[in-house]
Structure 1
Amino acid sequence: MSLQNRPLSPHLQVYRPQLTSVLSILHRATGVALGLGTLLLVYWLAAAAAGPEAFAGAQSFVGSPVGLILLFGWSVALFYHLCNGVRHLAWDVGLGFELPSVYRSGWTVVIATAALTVLTWGLALVLP
C-alpha cells in the first residue's frame, strides 16, 4: 500500500462526531465568540460614555435585526460556556468521568443552555 492511498485518521467521511467531541469543539468556539461579542459590549459602553448622539447610534445598531441576532448568539454562547464550564469544574475535582455520566452531563449542558437562553429572552420580551 502506498502512502498516497492511506486514509486520514480519523477519516472525515466515515467518522461520526460524538457528543463529547462536539461539545468540546463548541466550548472552544463559544470562548472565541464571547471574546468577539464582548467587543460589541465595549462599543455600546463606549458610546454611552461618549454622549447621547453616539449612544443613540449604538442603540440603533444593537436594536436592529442584525444587532439582535448578534446579541442572541452572544447570549447562547455565554450560557453554553457557563454551563459547560461548571461541567469542567466538576471534572477538575474528579466527578463525572464515567461514560454514562459524561453523556448525561453533556445533554444537561445542552438543555440548560436552551432553557437559560429562552428564559432570558422571554423575560426581555415580556418586561419593559
Structure 2
Amino acid sequence: MSDGKKIERPLSPFMLGPYYRLQLTSITSILTRITGNALAISAVLFVWWLLAAATSPEAFARADGILTSFIGHIALILSLWGVWYHYLAGLRHLYWDTGRGLDIPTAEKLGWAVIVGSVVLTIVTIIVI
C-alpha cells in the first residue's frame, strides 16, 4: 500500500540529461526509422521525375533542373546514404532475429559497422557512378 508520499520519477526515458543517456543502439534505431521515412519521400521525388519525363520536355526540364541543382544533389546524396544505412540496418536486424549479436558489446560494434559501412558505401557509390 502507498504511504501517500509522491515519488519524483522521470516521466519518460526520452528525458535527456540527468535521467537518460542515449546509447548507440537507440540512436541507430531512431536513424533506421528516419531513413525509412525519408526514403519514402525520395521515392516520391523519383516518381515525380519519371512522370515529368513522360509528360513533356518542359516538365522534365523543370524536374531535372531541381534535382540536379545544389540542393537536389544534397538530397540525392542523403537519399543514397539513407538507402545504404537502411539496408545495412536491415541486415543487422536479420542477424539479431537469429538470436545472435544481442549482447551489448556486439550490438554496439554492429551499430558502428552500420554507420561506418553506410558512409563508406555511399562514397564508393558516388565514386563509381
Q: TM-score, normalised by structure 1?
A: 0.87
Q: Name the amino acid aligned to 1:86.
A: L
Q: Taking every aligned residue pair, what percent have the same amino acid on both sides?
A: 44
Q: Deviations over 1:84-119 (max 9, x none)?
A: 001011111222112221111111101110101111
> Could you list the runs of 4 or more consecutive aligned residues of structure 1 that deviate by over 6 angstroms after TM superposition?
none
Higher Rg: 2
Partner of 1:113: 118
CA distance in 2, matches of 1:13, 1:104: 24
2:16–2:22 CA contact under 8 A, matched in 1:
no
Q: Deviations over 1:15-56 (max 9, x none)?
A: 221000000111111111011111110111111111322211
| Cα shift at 1:6 | 4.1
Match of 1:48, SS state, is helix
Q: Figure out how many residues of one structure are paired with residues of the other and give that number.
A: 123
CA distance in 1, matches of 2:17, 2:67: 40
Gaps of 5+ in 2: none
Q: 1:62 aligns with which of 67, 71, 76?
A: 67
CA distance in 1, matches of 2:125, 2:12: 42
Give RMSD over aligned pairs.
1.6
Moved more, 61-70 or 98-107: 98-107
Gaps of 5+ in 1: none
Matched, 1:32 2:37: yes
Partner of 1:12: 16
Partner of 2:84: 79
Match of 2:16, SS state, is coil
User: Relative to total residues, which structure has the larger helix share, 1 or 2?
Assistant: 1
